[in-house]
Structure 1
Amino acid sequence: MASSALQLLGFVLSLGGLGATIAATCMVTWKRLESNTSVRQTYQGLWMTCSGFNNKETSCELHESLFDLPIEVQATRAVMLFSIFLASVGVLVSTVGMKCTRFLDGNDKTKNAVAMAGGIMFMLSGVLTLAITSWYVRKIVQTFYGAHHKNRYEFGNAVFTSWAGAVLMLTGGVFLSCRRCSQSRPLVNLPNLRPKFQPTPNSSTDYV
């Protein structure tokens, strides 16, 4: 029962991490440029750029040309999509391998191996998401110190959402791929430690 609960917890965490990764990929707040003079805010995501005044009359424009985008946007977009695909496959594989499902009943070794494979997929997806997001932030920081003060971008909420998704998938993948967590522990029959009763001879029968 404990192993099934841990597998289910890992699956829920991984599923939440996948949802956060999808949300971060679709969000437009990867980079933020705020002008103090006109209170104009500009957000740049992986797919579009939005700008407006105090979140009013916001206009967005899609990135039409792939080759005109910075290299960090192109690489982050590709890695995030691959991470989502890998985690989606991990959802299907983990569903088959978890003990609370009826797939592959009667074959515990195969179910444990399938659950472990799904957990490894989640962990790989989390590592890819964490690595590409951290590299994207590093690029923003490098540009921040090298650009003019009016054109300095800062990383936005999508970065934190992506990091949170990566941590959730890594944690959930560890629970799913843990061998000790997926194996049921057999009950151990403890020996009877109670002392055996040995009747003592009656002193009245010792002498005739």
Structure 2
Amino acid sequence: MANAGLQLIGFLLALVGVATTMAAAMMVEWKKQSQGKSHRIYEGLWMSCSGNERTTCEFHDSVLKLPTEVQATRAVMMFSIFLSAVAVIVSTVGMKCTHFMDGDPKSKSTVAMIGGIMFMVSGLLTIIITSWYVKMIVQTFNNSHRLQSFEFGKAVFISWAGGLFTMAGGAFLSCRRCSRPQSSPSLRGNNLLPTTNPKSNYV
């Protein structure tokens, strides 16, 4: 029962991580720029917004016109979310609290471990691409006029958090000790079989 509880905790952590990653991918504050005291410009993976008190947003028209960091981050984030969606299905089949594959506990634990590994890879991809995106923004900021450059926004922190939660949940699920079936205690037959068979001879 304890192993099933750890699997459930890992699965819930992974779900929180996937939801956080999806929210970060949809956010518009991946990078921001301030023009004057009140005018703000935000750019995300899918749209850009600008304005003062009233903000106007519009979707990116052409993928080819986007900066390299936006194109790469968008592609990797979508692949990470897709991989997490597959991991949700695989982990559901392999978890002990479900009734799939109950006739084969060993294969069931292996499936749970595979789902956990997929979650870990998904979270690692999210962390890597987000870190690379931040690196590119910082390099552009340092190499150009700082008043006209973008800074990274709060979406990158949410993306990092989503990747960490997903990896943590996957670590619980892929833990072999947590997912393997409990072996039944072996019967000891030493006490059931006589060790000696004495024969008494009477004259």
Asked if Structure 1 and Structure 2 have the same fold, meaning a TM-score greater than 0.5 normalized by the shorter chain, the answer is: yes
Aligned-residue CA RMSD (Å) = 1.4
2:41 alignment partner AA:
T
Trace 1:38-53 onto structure 2 (pairs within 5 A). Answer: 38-53=37-52
4+ residue stretches of structure 1 with deviation over 3 A? 184-189
- Residue 176 (structure 2) aligns with: 179
Whole-Å separation in 2 of the counterparts to 1:138 and 1:109 = 44
Number of aligned residue pairs? 186
**Residue aligned with 1:42, SS:** strand
Q: Offset at 1:184?
A: 4.5
1:126 alignment partner AA:
G
Unpaired runs of 5+ residues, structure 2, are 187-203
2:89 alignment partner AA:
L
**Deviation readout 1:120-178 (Å, 9 max, x if unpaired):** 11011011101000000000100111121221211111101100010011111110011
Percentage of matched positions with identical amino acids: 58
2:66 alignment partner AA:
L
TM-score for the superposition, normalised by structure 2: 0.88
TM-score for the superposition, normalised by structure 1: 0.86
Whole-Å separation in 2 of the counterparts to 1:165 and 1:62 = 24
- Residue 2 (structure 2) aligns with: 2
Q: Offset at 1:78?
A: 0.3
Trace 1:118-129 onto structure 2 (pairs within 5 A). Answer: 118-129=115-126
1:42 alignment partner AA:
I
Unpaired runs of 5+ residues, structure 1, are 190-208
- Residue 19 (structure 1) aligns with: 19
**Deviation readout 1:26-52 (Å, 9 max, x if unpaired):** 0000001112x3411110000111011
Q: Which structure has the greater CA radius of gyration?
A: 1
